[in-house]
Amino acid sequence: AQSVTQLGSHVSVSEGALVLLRCNYSSSVPPYLFWYVQYPNQGLQLLLKYTSAATLVKGINGFEAEFKKSETSFHLTKPSAHMSDAAEYFCAVSEGQTGANNLFFGTGTRLTVIP
Amino acid sequence: DTAVSQTPKYLVTQMGNDKSIKCEQNLGHDTMYWYKQDSKKFLKIMFSYNNKELIINETVPNRFSPKSPDKAHLNLHINSLELGDSAVYFCASSRTSTGEQYFGPGTRLTVT
């Protein structure tokens, strides 16, 4: 079974500071991992995905994430926060090519950027 | 050129009514999904359809029924609506093998 844990339901950073959003996963098969962003009253937008290629994945808007199998982690980072980054961020896992394509989401982390 | 669209965006209805939410994707994807997002923002898969066949059906009450007239559409029918059905419902689509899902803008359902 797949599951995701996001540590910290709320994260606040100053504009220009490092953004670090934590995600740990559990999967019985090699996982596919995703980060999605949700702006207020909008749908989910894919930031980046890991599908067993390079462990460091670069996404849109300057975000990146590193897959660490030994730590079962897929933390999301951005070197310098921008006001427009304020949103809800969701980590998700699927079974990928070895099984059904269902996404299992974490509970989300709300990012606040302080000017 | 919306990739995944849903109608309506907002739906307010009374308990006991039957309602439908429509979803369309113009991406040529093979698989479509319905997710429910509760008041705490938790997202949970409800259904997925692959080439017009239901392939996953989570523990969802049988009052909810997905209907796919063709590969580009997956509608959600809800019978005998209950207060607990109030949530935001998201449609999504993907190519079967990549896992990358594209989401619609959501339908906020309020049951009074």
- Taking only residues 18 to 77 of chain B, the set having a beta carbon closer than 8 angstroms to any beta carbon of chain A reads 31, 33, 35, 40-45, 48, 55-56
**Would you call B12 an interface residue with chain A, using a CB distance cutoff of 8 Å?**
no
A32-51 pLDDT, tens per residue? 899 999 998 888 999 999 98
Q: Is the pLDDT of residue B100 over 90?
A: no
Q: Which residues of B touch A107 (CB under 8 A)?
A: 40-42
A32: contact with B, CB 8 A cutoff: yes
pLDDT band at B40; cut points 50, 70, 90 = confident
Nearest alpha carbon to residue A37 among A55, A24, A17, A21: A21
Split at pLDDT 50, 70, 90, the class of B1 is low
Q: Which residues in chain A touch residue B97, judged by CB atoms under 8 angstroms apart?
A: 97, 101
Pairing of strands A104-105, A87-94: antiparallel
Q: What pLDDT, in 10s, does the model give residues A46-101?
A: 999 998 778 899 999 999 999 999 999 999 999 999 999 999 999 999 876 555 57
